[in-house]
Structure 1
């Protein structure tokens, strides 16, 4: 199938989904629908590992801010979260290769992957709070991965961190010079592809189940807060519009 905003291929059990809306790979609804179509197309094919990477200077600068406004936000959330629901259902190990900025929704895609190889030039963060919203997926996975204190620091401040700090706190597995990123990723994939796909899927299932946590219910709860409580506020609308209009927001609610 031909895609406009992504590339997708399956080679000998390795599925490769490439974000291809350079230079910043901003995730709009059309692009995210293609990501979902690609993941759906895997079907019963014998895939062992899913690699998510990107063209251009950034992994992804996040979800299109303009598509957070009005009735579009409901479709945006449904399509965006569909990516993670499909990744969860697929059940195979997932690897992210991060060459540059992974911000907002881009950072959430990275955080949701099981393993992350990043360039020394990569930056990661969830700046959503600065435009009057919060990152739903990060709200779900950051406390599990980073611990509550660090998760809240990143989500509440919107700070953007470098690859070295991301590795230190457990958001990234490996950091390498930019020129070594592809080689390091391939080395990791080679290790994984030598293993039993079934055993890796069961191992991941056991590890996730061992958390004694229900991500489906968690995400459903977070979506309700996001859409029914936050997105109906004046501050959320003001923050998003201020970003699009390139001005400072004027908060009116406390």
Structure 2
């Protein structure tokens, strides 16, 4: 993470909620945890660093305050209207940086879980959709409201459309209205709805289970999942068959199958 002046709070906090589980907490509550370029950069750096950390098996993204993430910082975007090019260079840099950060979550070998206690809108909703799993408070809501201010949520659309049906995605994008946590679960945007205050605990419990698995197997499986979703049926089966062969050749599979046959817990040794 970048150096922060000693008199300024860190915009991204990192903690270990239990062995093998890291938590990244968005810490811009006064700005509704908006994704400023600095926060985008710090999230990207942290995800890449934790992805290479052999002691970590899963990552949780949470937030301080009543808003999980409100998307891009529109005040910051507006300030660049006075740039000589009307802000175009800044906008391009920001959007590409945000897209690269979202892709880093997908490509991270460690599963990433969103723990949503409040509102998740625009690129904040995109962040939830991008995470591998998501747990939300019953008080949380989700929206892609850009259309309401003349700015269609085109980049959030990419992640949204890969989580929910086409009609549901278009409804959210065209109406710009919030949906409840229960609706989000029914849409397929999130996995579980929990009472307020228990979201991080539930996410940690899920992360604990994931972290107890073979790191090699989970990393192979996550990478394969995202690759096959972009393929046609025949290519997907061919690709997945090769992944299964490669997986069977790993020490993890050898140990796991032996443990199953011998009726004992497997010893992954964190691979």
Residue 91 of structure 1 is matched in structure 2 by 109
SS in 2 for 1:15: strand
Residue 58 of structure 1 is matched in structure 2 by 67
- Which moves more between the two structures, 74-83 or 119-128? 74-83
Contact 2:59/2:207 (8 A) holds in 1: no
Q: Choose from 25, 44, 60 the match for 1:36.
A: 44
Change (3 A) 1:45 1:55: same
Deviations along 1:187-208, one digit per CA (max 9) or x if unpaired, are: 2122111111111111112221
Deviations along 1:105-142, one digit per CA (max 9) or x if unpaired, are: 11110010111110001010100111112223332122
SS in 2 for 1:121: coil
TM-score (norm 2): 0.73
**Structure 1: runs of 5 or more not aligned:** 215-254
Cα RMSD (Å) of the superposition? 2.0
Change (3 A) 1:182 1:61: same
SS in 2 for 1:26: coil
Would you say 1:135 and 2:143 are equivalent positions?
Answer: no
Would you say 1:209 and 2:227 are equivalent positions?
Answer: yes
SS in 1 for 2:197: helix
Q: Choose from 65, 85, 109 the match for 2:127.
A: 109
- Which moves more between the two structures, 79-88 or 157-166? 79-88
CA distance in 1, matches of 2:23, 2:201: 15
Change (3 A) 1:37 1:65: same
SS in 2 for 1:139: helix
SS in 1 for 2:39: helix
Change (3 A) 1:87 1:25: same
CA distance in 2, matches of 1:186, 1:43: 17
Larger radius of gyration: 2
Residue 13 of structure 1 is matched in structure 2 by 20
Change (3 A) 1:97 1:129: same
Deviations along 1:28-54, one digit per CA (max 9) or x if unpaired, are: 112212212222333632132121111
**Structure 2: runs of 5 or more not aligned:** 5-9, 82-86, 233-271
Change (3 A) 1:162 1:182: same
TM-score (norm 1): 0.77
- Which moves more between the two structures, 137-146 or 124-133? 137-146
Q: Choose from 21, 29, 34 the match for 1:22.
A: 29
SS in 2 for 1:144: coil
